[in-house]
Each structure stands twice: as C-alpha cells, then as structure tokens.
Structure 1
Amino acid sequence: MTTLTAPHASSATTSRPGLWFAADAVITGVNALAYLAAAGPLADLLGGDPATYRGIGLFMVAYAVAVGLYARSSLSARVGWGIVVGNLVWVVASLEVALTNAFDLDGLGRAWIVAQAVVVVDLALLQARSLRRR
C-alpha cells in the first residue's frame, strides 16, 4: 500500500534556500527597470521628481544584481542575513518617506511606498526563514 503525504509548508524554503532571494532579485529588477524607463510618468502619477525615480532605479538595479548573484551562489548565510537586514532597512526608510513625505509624493505615491514596503518585509521574513533552515 502506498501512502501519499503532503509536503510540509516549509519544504520550499528547505529544499531551495535561494528561492526567496531569487524572487527578491526579480521583483527588485522589474521595479528598477520601471523606475528607470518610466520615471517621468511615475512622477506624474505618484508625485515626486523624475530624477529621484531614476536614482532609486539605479540603486535597485545594483541591489537586484547582488541579490540575484547570491541566490545562485553558495555564499555563506552571513551574506544572506546582510540582504535580509538591507531589506528591513529599506522597509524602515520607505515608511519614513511615506510618513514624512520626504520626496513630495501625493497620496497615491505614499500608498505605493507602503505597499512596496509590505512586499519587501514579506520577502525579508521568507528569506530569514530559509536561512534559519539552511
């Protein structure tokens, strides 16, 4: 008799520890390209200055590449924890921008920043879980 059992919810993080880092790299990269390619329309839609979107986009390209390289490597967990901390710093900074309106965003722009922070904190938590199970 054969018995089938459902995999544990943590099997994705255990068998593929780089999965959440790869997802982070892809999401960050897509966002970065949008910031670079559509800085003007984004500024019109969300408020702020197109130059700010371009600057953030350039930073995000570099971050996406670094996280993507980590996701495909066998680097130590310490590097992974550095990425988790970087993501958490991004979340705190994003919430500060939304609360203080540091970039002169309109309401939709501040809502976008908060939504983006929610995605990043979720990724950071999933990354941390995968690192703990490594």
Structure 2
Amino acid sequence: MIEQMEAKLLEKSEQMAGLLQEVDDKKRVIDDQKGTIDSLESDVKRLVQEKAKMSKEIQRRSNSVAKLKKKENEVKEILEEAEKLSKRQHDAEQTIKKLRSRVKELEGDKKKAADKGLANVDE
C-alpha cells in the first residue's frame, strides 16, 4: 500500500512538474507576445505621428499649389493686359504715323498753294 501511495505520489509529482513546465512555457510565450504587442504599439504610435506629419505636409503643399495657381492666373492676366496694351500702342503709333504723313502732305499742298498764289500775284 505504501508502494502504491508512493507510486501515486511520484505520478502526481511528475504531473505537477509537467504542469509547471507548461506554465513556464506559457509564461514565456505570453512574455514574448507582450514584447511583440509593445513593439507593435510603438510602431502604431510612430506611424500615427508620421501620418499626422504627412497630413500637415500635404496640407502645406496643397496651400502652396493653390498659391502657385493663383500667381499663374495673375501672370496670365498681366500678360493678356500687356498684349492688349501693346496692340493699342501699335495702333496709336500707326495712327500717329498716318497723321504725320497727312500733315506733311498738307504742308506740301499749302506750300504749293502759297507758291501758286505768289506766282499769280507776280503776273
């Protein structure tokens, strides 16, 4: 009977040792998983910060693009206005040229008329 009790005690002791080993193994797995979770949480936190930084950068660049488009429109309008002014200046210069030519023509006619008038007076 003592031998049976010793055998049962030995069996229970071995079972207990096996269970303790399982507990230790599971603790190691849990510790490893906690480390992995901590690492992943750290990565998530870093990625969230990077996302926020990227969002700000995208917003800044969007603002820059909007400003650039506005400036491009302003330059386009200025160039259009400059072209209109250039055409008006060209037209004005052509009109001045024609008027000067007409003035010379009229002065020539006036001189001819004056010369003719003097010629009539001499006769």
Q: TM-score, normalised by structure 2?
A: 0.24
Which entry has the higher C-alpha Rg, 1 or 2?
A: 2
More helix as a share of residues: 2
Say which structure, 1 or 2, has more relative contact order (CA 8 Å, 6+ apart). 1
Q: TM-score, normalised by structure 1?
A: 0.22
